[in-house]
Structure 1
Amino acid sequence: MSPSARTSWKLPAALAAALLASMLLGWLVGGQVTAWVAVVAIAEVVLLLTRIGHQTRTMMTAPASTSPLQHDRFMTRSRRLASNLRDLRNAASQLPDAVVLIDQQQHIRWFNHAAENLLGLRRPQDRGVLLLERMAGSELSEWLRDGAHEPLNDAVAPGRADSQLNVSLLPFGDHEQLLLARDISHLNRLEQVRRDFVANVSHELRTPLTVIHGYLELIDPEDVPELASVLGEMRSQSKRMGQIVEDLLTLSRLETQHDVADERVPMAALLATVRKEAEALSQGRHQITLESNTDADLLGSPKDLHSALSNLVSNAVRYTPAGGSITIRWQRTPEGAVYSVSDTGFGIPANHLARLTERFYRISSSRSRDSGGTGLGLSIVKHVLNLHQAQLQIESTPGAGSTFSCHFGPARLLAPGGSDEG
Structure 2
Amino acid sequence: GVYVTDLEDRMLIVNEAFERQSRYSAADIVNRNHLQLLEGYNDPILIHQMQSTLAGGEIWSGELVHQRKGGDPYDIQLTIAPVRDLSAQVVGYVGSQRDITHQKELDHLKDMFVSDVSHELRTPTTNIRLYLELLEDAPSEKTPKYLSVIKEQSQLLTKLVEDILDLSRLAMAKARKIEFEKMDLNLLAEQVVTAHLPIADATGLDLIFEPYPDLPTILGDQIQMSRVITNLVSNAVRYTQKGNVSVRTYKS
Same fold (TM over 0.5): no
Output the TM-score relative to the length of structure 2: 0.41
Output the TM-score relative to the length of structure 1: 0.26
